[in-house]
C-alpha cells in the first residue's frame, strides 16, 4: 500500500524514535511509505479546551499537507491524535477533506489488525510487557472491549498484534482506568492527574512486567514522567518499537 505517515507534533518533537520505528516497520512489511511535509498539530491541544475556532488554522494546514500526494492510507502512531484529527476535520465541514481524508486515517494498531495484517514471521522478543490501553484508543477507536461493556466475545486488537511476536510475555493491569494525562488536564488539575498517573504506573508494576507497551505517545509521556521522577525500573515502549525490533 502507499501510506502517508501522519506524525503528530508530540511525536515529531518529543518522541521521534516512535516515528522512525513506525516508518521502518511499515517499510519492512512492504509498504511504500512517505512523509508529507508541512504537518501541523491535529488540534486536540486546542479542541480539548473547547477552542474549536482557534484550531481551524492548524487542522486545515495539516489536512492540506496530508492531501499533497495521493495515497491508500494515512497511518499515525497515536490513537488520540487519530480520534481528534478525524473529529476536527469533520467539523471543518469541508467536503473534500471529509471524503478524501477521514476514511483513510488509521492508528497503527488498527491498520495492522484490520487492513494489512502482518504475514511475515517475526523474531523472538524476550520481554514481559504490560499493556497500556489508553482511553481514546480503547473507547473511541474501539481497539478492544472496554471493561464497562457486556460482550459475548471480548476482543483486543492490541493484544492480537502483540501476540504475533514470539516469546513476548503479554500482561495487563487489573483495570483499564485512565492514566491521567487528559490533555490540558495534566496542567489544569495537576494534583489529580499526578495521582492518577502514579496509580497507573503502580498498576503496571503490579503485573511484574519489565516494560509498559502502549499505542498512545501522550500517555507514554505522562507515565515516563512519573517513572523518571520516582526512579522506577520500568521501560515505556511504543508498539512500533517492539514490532520494529521483531521484524
Partner 1 sequence: MADPTSHAERSAIFIRNEERVDWHSESLLNLRDKRDIQTKSLLEWEKMREAASQMKMNVLSNISDYLQLFADKCTDNGMVVHWAVDDKEHNDIIAKILQDRGKTKLIKSKSMLTEECHLVPHLESLGIECIESDLGERILQLKEEAPSHIVVPAIHLKKEEISQLFHEKLGTDKYCCDPTYLAHAARKSLREDFLTADAAMTGVNMAIADQGAFVVCTNEGNADMGAHLADLHIAVMGVDKIVPNADAAALLMRMLARNATGQPSTSYNSIFASPREGTETHIVIVDNGRSERLKNKDHAEVYKCIRCGACMNTCPVYRRSGGHSYEYFIPGPIGLAINANDESSHSDAWACTMCASCTNVCPVKVPLHKIIMHHREKIAESGHLPYAKSWYMPTTAAILKSPNRLNVAIKVTKIGLQLLPQPLGNIVGGGWTKSRELPKMPKQSFAAWHKKNRGK
Residues 37-76 that bind partner 1 (CB under 8 A): 37-41, 43, 45-46, 48-55, 57-58, 60-61
**In the bound complex, what is the minimum distance in angstroms from residue 80's beta carbon to partner 1?**
9
Residues listed for the chain: 247
State in angstroms the smallest separation of the CB of 12 from partner 1.
5
Are residues 89 and 97 in contact, defined by beta-carbon separation less than 8 angstroms?
A: yes
CB of 76 to partner 1, least distance (A): 12
What's the distance, CA 6 to chain centroid? Answer: 11
| Torsion, Cα of 36, 33, 105, 121 (10° steps) | -160
- Give the nearer residue to partner 1 in terms of CB position, either 68 or 124: 68
Per-residue string for binding with partner 1, 183-222, x by CB under 8 A?
xxxxxxxxxxxxxxxx----------------------xx
Helices (H), the chain: 9-14, 16-28, 44-47, 52-66, 79-92, 95-100, 108-110, 135, 157-162, 185-188, 190-205, 217-230, 239-246
Count of residues touching partner 1 (by CB under 8 A): 73
Q: Does 27 bind partner 1 (CB under 8 A)?
A: no
**Which positions from 79 to 98 touch partner 1 by CB under 8 A, shown as an x/- string?**
--------------------
Q: Tell the smallest beta-carbon distance from residue 32 to partner 1 (Å).
A: 13
Q: Is 32 near partner 1 (CB under 8 A)?
A: no
Tell the smallest beta-carbon distance from residue 81 to partner 1 (Å): 13
Closer Cβ to partner 1, 54 or 167, answer by number: 54
Residue (7 or 168) nearer to partner 1, CB: 7
173 scored as a contact of partner 1 (CB under 8 A): no
As measured in angstroms, the least distance from the Cβ of 129 to partner 1 is 21
In the complex with partner 1, the residue whose CB is nearer, 53 or 119, is 53
Nearest in space to 23 (alpha carbons), one of 101, 76, 86: 76
Q: State the DSSP H helix or E strand holding residue 236, giving kind and residue range, or none if neither.
A: strand 235-238
Is the separation of the CB atoms in 51 and 183 below 8 Å? no
Q: How far apart are CA 146 and CA 140, in angstroms?
A: 10
Q: Which of 246, 238, 244 is nearest to 10 (CA)?
A: 238
Q: Edge to edge, what strands does the sheet with 169-171 contain?
A: 169-171, 128-132, 211-214, 235-238
When binding is defined by CB under 8 A, the residue of 3, 4, 6, 15 that contacts partner 1 is: 15
Which residues in 124-153 contact partner 1 (CB under 8 A)? 135-136, 139-140, 146-152
Amino acid at each position: 500500500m502507499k501510506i502517508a505517515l501522519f506524525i503528530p507534533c508530540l511525536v515529531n518533537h518529543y518522541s521521534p524514535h516512535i516515528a522512525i520505528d513506525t516508518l521502518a516497520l511499515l517499510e519492512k512489511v512492504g509498504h511504500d511509505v512517505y512523509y508529507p511535509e508541512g504537518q501541523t498539530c491535529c488540534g486536540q491541544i486546542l479542541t480539548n479546551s473547547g477552542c474549536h475556532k482557534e484550531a481551524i488554522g492548524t487542522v486545515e494546514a495539516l489536512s492540506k499537507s496530508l492531501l499533497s500526494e495521493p495515497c491508500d492510507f494515512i497511518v499515525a502512531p497515536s490513537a488520540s491524535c487519530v480520534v481528534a484529527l478525524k473529529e476536527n476535520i469533520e467539523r471543518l465541514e469541508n467536503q473534500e477533506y471529509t471524503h478524501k481524508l477521514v476514511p483513510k486515517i488509521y492508528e497503527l494498531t488498527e491498520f495492522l489488525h484490520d487492513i494489512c495484517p502482518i504475514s511475515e514471521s517475526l523474531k523472538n522478543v524476550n520481554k514481559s510487557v504490560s499493556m497500556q490501553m489508553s482511553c481514546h484508543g480503547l473507547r473511541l477507536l474501539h481497539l478492544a472491549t472496554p471493561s464497562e461493556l457486556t460482550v459475548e466475545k471480548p476482543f483486543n486488537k492490541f493484544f492480537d498484534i502483540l501476540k504475533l511476536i514470539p516469546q513476548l510475555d503479554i500482561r495487563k493491569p487489573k483495570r483499564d482506568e485512565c492514566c491521567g494525562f487528559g490533555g490540558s488536564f495534566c496542567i489544569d488539575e495537576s494534583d489529580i492527574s499526578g495521582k492518577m498517573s502514579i496509580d497507573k504506573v503502580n498498576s503496571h508494576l503490579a503485573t511484574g512486567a519489565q516494560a509498559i507497551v502502549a499505542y498512545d505517545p501522550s500517555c507514554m509521556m505522562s507515565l515516563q514522567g512519573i517513572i523518571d521522577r520516582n526512579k522506577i525500573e520500568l521501560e515505556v515502549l511504543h508498539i512500533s518499537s517492539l514490532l520494529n525490533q521483531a521484524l
